[in-house]
Amino acid sequence: DINEVIKHKNIIVYLVGGCVRDLLLGLENLDLDFVTLDDGLNFAKMVHKRMGGKLTVHNNFRTGSINLGNRINIDIVTARKEYYEEPGKLPKVEFGSLLDDLIRRDFTMNTLLLDFKNLDNPIIYDYFDGVSDLYNKKIRVLHDNSFIDDPTRIYRAVRFTCRYNFEIEDNTLKLINKALKNNVLTSVSEDRLFTEIIKGIKERNSYKVLKKYDEFNLFSFISNTMFINNVIIDKFNNLEQINKIKKGYKFPQISDTEVKIMILFHNLKEKELQNLLEKLSLKKDTKKKLLELKENYGKTLNILSKPNLSSYELYKTLNKKTYEEILYYLIMNYNDNIIRSRIYQYTTNFKNKKLLIDGKDIKDLGVKEGPIYKKILDIMLKETLNNNLNTKEKQLKVLKE
């Protein structure tokens, strides 16, 4: 479809960046980035008209993004030039040549252009020897100032080494170490750095990324109390192998990223977590939940380890927690047989049990309103859990009795 628009309108457009890199590596990449010297936004509108999806426009840089809804994302930018006026801050942008648009990028392997006007004979333009670096598995910057301009590229370099099993080329590695020694990361906001951490934990082999981030000491710039140890790395590794376990425990589809964030913060004390969260732009509700989790963790574990824990107590303890939180408790305590079996009992047996009667049903029986209602509902919950009262009729029958 895009090819048709290009041919029909005679526009010069190239595929660029990560998708070309991954195409050459034979890997799937559904984020398609296009660059054009014509008006990127007009082109985006034409593509959108033909292909549908959700169009987002950025008027000042004549850029458009189309989300096709089938995991495919199309970004179309008008070629631009970027200036870094202050290290670590976002660049100033103006329209530029194609070469300007390539020079602003991080690594040679991300500067490849693919011209596919003739689909049978697509052409790659390679101005910085990106293809050779790609085949030699090297991550190489375009110029010596790259990490000063944008220190978050240090995180990107680490991620790419883990994702593709590449090496950071010698001079690039020296530049990273020099930039770190000069504390370039202190000029970047914690929030931007945290975004890089999140991108790392979303990688398929995130435990490797974490380990490497830590080797470069990349956590210390976000919080000087945050540290990663082998326990955390192990838990990340476990989580990646845990899909089978999740099935056995009847976990639904849940967000691994959320669980990973909980694990990542495991070593922080309450106050330390609070200080860190103040600097991050996570949703208010997410922050509240993370703090509550930290506050209640020890208490909840104590309850879950109690020798004679009743079904009712187990239900009450886990009922208000999300599946992500429960998975976190499970992962962190996977070697503890008691806790493991309690969680198993809850997720496989109790999680979907509900009290289907309420105060109104008690009132209908002529019971005078008062604290007795809560007592009755508690007793009914116990009955429901212990005797599998899974319909309202069954519960009403017991209530009457």
Residues that bind ligand CTP (CB under 6 A): 17-18, 31, 33, 105-106, 110, 150, 152-153, 156
Look up residue 193 and give its two tokens: 């750095």
Q: How far is the CB of 95 from ligand CTP (least distance, A)?
A: 17
Q: Compute how many other C-beta atoms are within 10 angstroms of the C-beta atom of residue 239.
A: 22
- Per DSSP, the residues of 17-59 read THHHHHHHHT----EEEEEESS-HHHHHHHHHHHH-SEEEEEG
CA angle, 112 then 63 then 154, to 5°? 50
Q: How far is the CB of 306 from ligand CTP (least distance, A)?
A: 45
CA distances from 292 to 107, 295, 314 (A): 41, 5, 19
Determine the length of the chain. Answer: 401
Q: Long-range contacts for 283-287 (Cβ within 8 Å, ≥24 apart)?
A: none
Closest CB to ligand CTP among residues 31, 336: 31
253 SS3 class: coil
Q: How far is the CB of 243 from ligand CTP (least distance, A)?
A: 22
Q: How far is the CB of 25 from ligand CTP (least distance, A)?
A: 11
* CA 241 from centre of chain: 17
Q: How far is the CB of 29 from ligand CTP (least distance, A)?
A: 6
Closest CB to ligand CTP among residues 117, 156: 156
Closest CB to ligand CTP among residues 18, 96: 18
- What is the side-by-side strand order in the sheet with 73-78? 54-58, 63-67, 73-78, 31-36, 13-16, 113-115, 123-125
Q: How far is the CB of 71 from ligand CTP (least distance, A)?
A: 13
Closest CB to ligand CTP among residues 176, 385: 176
Closest CB to ligand CTP among residues 113, 293: 113
Closest CB to ligand CTP among residues 73, 347: 73
